[in-house]
């Protein structure tokens, strides 16, 4: 089996989600402008939560004992809008929830689009204020959004 982190992240980055920009690990945002929102991207510090092996589907048969799949746990950040007085969260919630649900559905659709990838679970956290890049900025850098935790099974190809 050959693991391919690039395949997993490219599959997520290639998702088409109406009104949401999706970024890959190669183009993480360093700052934001109004036109960047809403956006989904790998968490800069906690993106790769871990990878573990799991016996593949054929592993229960004689001669297939060495086939293992990889289960990856990934964390993404969804930022909807800047957290400023002019944008109170209660006015953002209806559309922010709609976008989060669209992201959730799109991630689940990877099962049919990516071939050897199967989404095992998707969850998103409570909505709230999330500190965003760049660190150490002199301006307030908080955004409304949530975290997406994704567990993906990358099937053995051997």
What are the pLDDT digits (tens) for 105-146?
999 888 755 556 788 899 999 999 987 655 555 556 789 999
**Neighbouring C-beta atoms of residue 143, cutoff 10 Å:** 23
Give the predicted TM-score (pTM) of the model.
0.84
CB-count burial class (<10 Å; 0-12, 13-18, 19+) for 30: exposed
| Domains of the chain and any CATH numbers | 5-154 (3.30.2000)
Mean per-residue pLDDT for 13-28? Answer: 91
**Cα distances (Å, whole numbers) of residue 36 to 28, 61, 95, 136, 153:** 12, 50, 16, 20, 30
Q: How confident is the model at residue 22 (pLDDT cuts 50, 70, 90)?
A: very high
Q: What is the pLDDT of residue 69?
A: 80
């Amino acid at each position: 089996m050959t693991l391919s982190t690039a395949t997993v992240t490219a599959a997520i980055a290639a998702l088409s989600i109406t009104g949401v920009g999706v970024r890959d690990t190669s183009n993480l945002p360093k700052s934001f402008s109004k036109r960047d929102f809403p956006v989904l991207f790998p968490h800069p510090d906690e993106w790769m939560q871990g990878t573990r092996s799991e016996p593949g589907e054929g592993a229960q048969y004689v001669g297939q004992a060495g086939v293992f799949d990889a289960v990856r746990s990934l964390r993404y950040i969804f930022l909807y809008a800047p957290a400023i007085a002019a944008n109170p969260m209660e006015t953002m919630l209806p559309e922010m929830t709609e976008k989060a649900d669209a992201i959730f559905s799109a991630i689940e659709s990877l099962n049919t689009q990516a071939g050897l990838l199967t989404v095992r679970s998707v969850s998103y956290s409570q909505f709230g204020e999330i500190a965003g890049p760049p660190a150490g900025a002199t301006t307030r850098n908080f955004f409304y959004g949530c975290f997406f935790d994704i567990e993906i099974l990358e099937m053995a190809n051997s």
